[in-house]
Amino acid sequence: MSAPAPSPLAIVDAEPLERQGEVLTDAALAFLAELHHRFTPRRDELLARRAERRAEIARTSTLDFLPETAHIRDDPDWRVAPAPPALEDRRVEITGPTDRKMTINALNSGAKVWLADFEDASAPTWANVIGGQLNLIDAYERRIDFTSPEGKSYALRPDDVLATVVTRPRGWHLDERHLRAADGRPVPGALVDFGLYFFHNARRLLAQGKGPYFYLPKTESHLEARLWNDVFVFAQDHLSLPQGTIRATVLIETITAAYEMDEILYELRDHASGLNAGRWDYLFSIVKNFRDGGPGFVLPDRNAVTMTAPFMRAYTELLVRTCHKRGAHAIGGMAAFIPSRRDPEVNAVAFDKVKADKDREASDGFDGSWVAHPDLVPVARASFDAVLGDRPHQKDRLREDVRVTAAELIDVASLDAKPTHQGLRNAVQVGTRYIEAWLRGLGAVAIFNLMEDAATAEISRSQIWQWVNAGVVFENGEKATADLVRKVAAEELAAIREEVGEDAFAAGKWSQAHDLLLRVALDADYTEFLTLPAYELLG
């Protein structure tokens, strides 16, 4: 068979930005068009398959390991490709959006890896999408600097201490409305973020002794991992690069993916470098998939679901065992605390909690973990240094003691904690404040000394939806109803108005955020991702 005819250039449908021509070259746009032509139809099929699987979960209220892939799980011999030198030691990874200041601070942070985020920590304005690509190119060319409004200057440190970049594109469900193909359809945001970054930086990174490395978000099945692998194979061939140049770490942040960890690594085995345990999106996925599963699936307040909960322990220990059995890195969860400038006692208590969390991860066998702020890098590093010493990882710890059943992964009913009225109020507070910032183009937002991103807003609005639809009765005797949620939301909006002042309130997106939160938390038809309707409101 002859190869498909080349697709025309992708079409830019946006007001031009300064320097965007450096990113949106004819060759880069042609590459995006070809990615869209080859892979968007399969993306569409897999999104439809997600809906079918969700309908099956609604019917059965259960999940199991796939019988048709048992031979992959049972085969003791296969391994993923060895890690490249730049990804051998991943003991501390810092996460954050690709704005100019964060790019400099993350690379300078002392972390081994920076997760450069085009996904949950980035609101996909056109300026953020293109500006983030420019910032990464400028960083690799060492021509990046930044001066804050207060006059503080930022610049890169010497190369030998800079973090290795692992870029996270958007999930498969999001489109990029500003780039359309010849068929008139928007190009998936995942292909835009991946394609532009890979096209412009793959050879540049190889010349620097590193490579194009990626985090893959919100994967729901090994078939979605297979699609990514096929994208990688095509992209490397397109630039005449060796197969295996790309390396990918998959976030196991959906409940369905937790049942397919072996299979996901297998599909990506020539390009895989590890799996990551993402807490908030994982809980969001449990609520989303089992939202009508009855009282046994009702989660308590999000802060009451720690990583020591039995079903969370099952998930994380299975992840470590699976990764190490296959020669892959196991990367732990997020420490989201943002240090206070005014309260050292708050900092001391929080740092102790971070240390305990990272000590647990290191002792469980994880090879590294995430932090959201540079001040947490030395805390996490100390925990992993104590276990690893001079070793880059502990993949030799096979955790053959771990035995996890299908039922244990969804044993939400084993939790003692229950939803509380304060938990409802906190969900409204966090959801409103985060959505307002997102609508202004900010994807990573400090709220109550925690760095919040889209995943925390998702779990907040999903818990409200679940509690209302389950008829939860709080400890004060009040029942979770739509009217109660509207009352709390109105109180919180009034409190925000008083807190920020009339001028700032009027200049913000507070009413839009309030209305959108109520829409995605109270509509009878559950919205799959709040970022889908939010994107329609984004400037």
> Distance between CA 282 and CA 154 in Å, rounded?
35
> Distance between CA 539 and CA 536 in Å, rounded?
8
Is residue 315, in this structure, part of any structural domain at all?
yes
Is residue 413, in this structure, part of any structural domain at all?
no
**pLDDT for 2 beyond 80:** no
Q: Which residue has the tokens 């050879």?
A: 203
* Same domain membership, residue 395 and residue 423: no
Looking up residue 480, the CATH number of its domain turns out to be: 1.20.1220.12
**pLDDT for 7 beyond 80:** no
**pLDDT for 160 beyond 80:** no
* Same domain membership, residue 398 and residue 460: no
Q: What is the predicted pLDDT for the residue at 279?
A: 85
Is residue 2, in this structure, part of any structural domain at all?
no
* Same domain membership, residue 379 and residue 260: yes
Q: What is the predicted pLDDT for the residue at 206?
A: 98
Q: What is the predicted pLDDT for the residue at 5?
A: 56
Of 374, 407, 440, the last residue of a domain is 407
Q: What is the predicted pLDDT for the residue at 330?
A: 98
* Same domain membership, residue 220 and residue 149: yes
* Interval 54-82: pLDDT, tens: 999 999 999 999 999 999 999 999 999 99
Of 364, 387, 407, the last residue of a domain is 407
The tally of CA atoms less than 13 A away on the side-chain side of residue 116 is 29
Q: What is the predicted pLDDT for the residue at 1?
A: 42
> Distance between CA 444 and CA 117 in Å, rounded?
10
DSSP state of 162: P
Catalogue the active-site residues.
Answer: 168, 453
Q: How confident is the model at residue 341 (pLDDT cuts 50, 70, 90)?
A: confident
Q: For helices 454-470 and 510-522, give the axis angle rounded to 10 degrees.
A: 50
**pLDDT for 202 beyond 90:** yes
* Same domain membership, residue 374 and residue 429: no
Q: Is 92 helix (H, G, I), strand (E, B) or coil?
A: strand
* Interval 439-491: pLDDT, tens: 999 999 999 999 999 999 999 999 999 999 999 999 999 999 999 999 999 99
Looking up residue 190, the CATH number of its domain turns out to be: 3.20.20.360
Is residue 201, in this structure, part of any structural domain at all?
yes
* Same domain membership, residue 144 and residue 290: yes
Of 387, 407, 427, the last residue of a domain is 407
Q: What is the predicted pLDDT for the residue at 219?
A: 98
Is residue 289, in this structure, part of any structural domain at all?
yes
* Interval 367-402: pLDDT, tens: 999 999 999 999 999 999 999 999 999 999 999 999
Is residue 7, in this structure, part of any structural domain at all?
no
* Same domain membership, residue 477 and residue 400: no
Is residue 12, in this structure, part of any structural domain at all?
no
* Interval 419-437: pLDDT, tens: 999 999 999 999 999 999 9
* Same domain membership, residue 381 and residue 434: no
How large is the average pLDDT for residues 138-151?
95
Q: What are the CA-CA distances from residue 485 to residues 5, 69, 513, 523 (Å)?
A: 54, 44, 14, 12
As separate numbers, helices (DSSP H) first and strands (DSSP E) second, the chain gives 19, 15
* Same domain membership, residue 438 and residue 366: no
**What is the span of the domain harbouring residue 135?**
20-407
How large is the average pLDDT for residues 296-311?
94
Q: Would you state the structure tokens that stand for residue 461, as one six-digit string?
A: 């609005």
Q: How confident is the model at residue 4 (pLDDT cuts 50, 70, 90)?
A: low
Is residue 198 within 8 Å of residue 281, measured between CB atoms?
A: no
Is residue 14, in this structure, part of any structural domain at all?
no
* Same domain membership, residue 174 and residue 258: yes
* Same domain membership, residue 492 and residue 426: yes
Task: Please state, for a pLDDT cut of 70, what percent of the chain lies above it.
Answer: 99
Output 393-396 pairs: Cβ under 8 A, ≥24 positions apart: 393/88, 393/89, 393/90, 393/91, 393/329, 393/367, 393/368, 394/324, 394/365, 394/367, 395/323, 395/324, 395/327, 395/328, 395/329, 395/367, 396/324
* Number of domains composing the chain: 2
Q: What is the predicted pLDDT for the residue at 252?
A: 98
> Distance between CA 438 and CA 517 in Å, rounded?
12
Q: Would you state the structure tokens that stand for residue 194, as one six-digit string?
A: 């991946």
Is residue 173 within 8 Å of residue 222, measured between CB atoms?
A: no
* Interval 348-373: pLDDT, tens: 999 999 999 999 999 999 999 999 99
* Same domain membership, residue 380 and residue 283: yes
Q: For helices 454-470 and 482-500, give the axis angle rounded to 10 degrees.
A: 140
Is residue 177 within 8 Å of residue 537, measured between CB atoms?
A: no
